[in-house]
């Protein structure tokens, strides 16, 4: 991947297998760092189980992949319902802050969730529209059987939703994300 990318991960594991799914999310993110490093890709993480918390900002410049992975691996699993609307509002703030993003970088949001959470669908769609106006592309990774990908079409078109079993290997999840990114469909809208 040669393009500069600022990639935000919004993560929430609140389903019946939340501990397993949360670790899969963390492993997928650290695999991305192993694969692509920290120069061309800059990372942010918003945990939206319960009240959304920004765990990692783009401006938290981590120049050492090992240190960044250690930081991410130390993020602890939280309890509560997924609050997608509030997470998207936090993501919107991150991408709107000129001190956070690189102007020449593509901006991507990857939403990981294992269960549909709270949040008015119309409000969610409005925030997603504002993100699209800022040229932020959104992908959704629906993990397990407790989330129905068709319920997530208000976030992004169905072609940008990847449904994976909770037992899926994290490298396979990242490869599915890369395949979608490299297919060009994410950039067409």
3-state secondary structure labels for all residues of 9-26 = EEEECCCCCHHHHHHHHH
Q: What is the pLDDT of residue 186?
A: 54
- pLDDT 10s digit of each residue in the chain, 189 long? 568 999 999 999 999 999 999 999 999 999 999 999 999 999 999 999 999 999 999 988 788 999 999 999 999 999 998 999 999 999 999 999 998 899 999 999 999 999 877 667 888 889 999 999 999 999 999 998 888 777 787 788 888 888 898 888 889 999 999 888 887 655 433
H or E segment and range at residue 181? helix 170-183
SS3 107: strand
- Return d(Cα 132, Cα 160) in angstroms, integer: 13
């Amino acid at each position: 991947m040669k393009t500069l990318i600022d990639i935000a991960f919004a993560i929430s594991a609140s389903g019946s297998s939340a501990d397993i799914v949360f670790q899969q999310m963390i492993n997928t993110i650290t695999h991305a760092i192993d694969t692509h490093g920290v120069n061309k890709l800059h990372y942010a993480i918003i945990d939206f189980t319960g009240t959304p918390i920004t765990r990692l900002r783009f401006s938290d410049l981590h120049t050492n992949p090992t240190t960044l992975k250690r930081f991410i691996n130390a993020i602890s699993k939280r309890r509560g319902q997924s609050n997608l609307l509030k997470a998207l509002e936090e993501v919107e703030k991150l991408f709107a802050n000129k001190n956070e993003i690189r102007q020449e970088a593509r901006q991507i949001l990857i939403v990981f969730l294992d269960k549909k959470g709270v949040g008015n669908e119309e409000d969610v769609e409005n925030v997603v529209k504002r993100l699209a106006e800022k040229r932020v592309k959104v992908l959704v990774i629906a993990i397990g059987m407790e989330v129905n990908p068709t319920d997530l079409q208000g976030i992004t078109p169905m072609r940008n939703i990847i449904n994976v079993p909770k037992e899926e290997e994290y490298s396979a999840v990242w490869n599915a994300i890369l395949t979608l990114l490299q297919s060009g469909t994410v950039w067409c809208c």
